[in-house]
Amino acid sequence: ELKVEQNPLFLSMQEGKNYTIYCNYSTTSDRLYWYRQDPGKSLESLFVLLSNGAVKQEGRLMASLDTKARLSTLHITAAVHDLSATYFCAVENNDMRFGAGTRLTVKP
């Protein structure tokens, strides 16, 4: 069974700092997703990573995928308060399985 492990589960950052969220998964898959969820809202798609070595960047967020290590990272650069949300990675294997989420709080 596909398992997706995400860490950390909680992350409190100061504005302007950098940090990385990690996502490990247990079986082979070439499609990995990162989503953002604001409280009480649905999932907002951030990135879809389709192949080994894929790197995508949007603003202060950058995601990468290493399919050999079964690892994806979401790197946050110079965090701002607006990035406060819960971030989920998800791996597709017939259906999509989610990590437990990382609740990010960016403090001024």
Partner 1 sequence: GEEVAQTPKHLVRGEGQKAKLYCAPIKGHSYVFWYQQVLKNEFKFLISFQNENVFDETGMPKERFSAKCLPNSPCSLEIQATKLEDSAVYFCASSQSPYGYTFGSGTRLTVV
* Minimum CB–partner distance for residue 103 and partner 1 (Å): 7
Give dist(CA 79, CA 72) in Å, integer. Answer: 19
Question: How many residues in the chain?
Answer: 108
State the CB neighbour count (10 A cutoff) for residue 107: 11
Q: In sequence order, what E strands does 1-108 have?
A: 4-7, 10-14, 19-25, 32-37, 43-49, 55-58, 61-66, 71-76, 85-93, 95-98, 102-107
- Considering only the stretches 51-59, 60-68, 74-82, 84-92, report the one whose residues sit in contact with partner 1 under the rule CB under 8 A: 84-92
Q: Of 73 and 93, which has the nearer Cβ to partner 1?
A: 93
User: Interface with partner 1 includes 98 (CB under 8 A)?
Assistant: yes
Name residues contacting partner 1, limited to 19-58 (CB under 8 A).
Answer: 31, 33, 41-43, 45, 48, 50
User: Interface with partner 1 includes 80 (CB under 8 A)?
Assistant: no
Q: Which residues bind partner 1 (CB under 8 A)?
A: 31, 33, 41-43, 45, 48, 50, 86, 88, 90, 92, 94-98, 100-101, 103
